[in-house]
Amino acid sequence: MSGFQLEKVEYLLEDPSRHNEAISPSPGVTHDEYSFYSHTRTVNQPEIVDVLGEWKKVIQNNTDGTK
């Protein structure tokens, strides 16, 4: 194996305040559909960059560090 790929990292973290998601203004969706909420507190949190940077350091320190 020469590497691996992380998928769906945008969902890795959520807002630590644990506030509920806001309801999306999308018309015609119901509460049991993903698009019912705005997902501003559970998708693409800024801290993800820091977590991925730390993971990169761990990988580089435990491999030959060429990639």
- Structural domain includes residue 16: yes
- Structural domain includes residue 44: yes
The CA–CA distances, whole Å, from 21 to 2, 5, 26, 38, 58 equal 39, 29, 14, 6, 33
- Structural domain includes residue 22: yes
User: What is the band of 64 on the pLDDT scale with cuts at 50, 70, 90?
Assistant: confident
In which domain, by residue range, is 50 found? 9-61
- Structural domain includes residue 21: yes
Query: Considering its fold, how many domains does the chain have in total?
Result: 1
Measure the CA–CA gap between 3 and 44, rounded to whole angstroms.
24
User: What is the band of 65 on the pLDDT scale with cuts at 50, 70, 90?
Assistant: low
Burial of residue 29 (CB within 10 Å: 0-12, 13-18, 19+) is: middle
| Residue 63 DSSP SS3 | coil
- Structural domain includes residue 3: no
Q: What is the pTM of this model?
A: 0.73
pLDDT of residue 62: 84
pLDDT in tens, 8-61: 999 999 999 999 999 999 899 999 999 999 999 999 999 999 999 999 999 888
- Structural domain includes residue 1: no
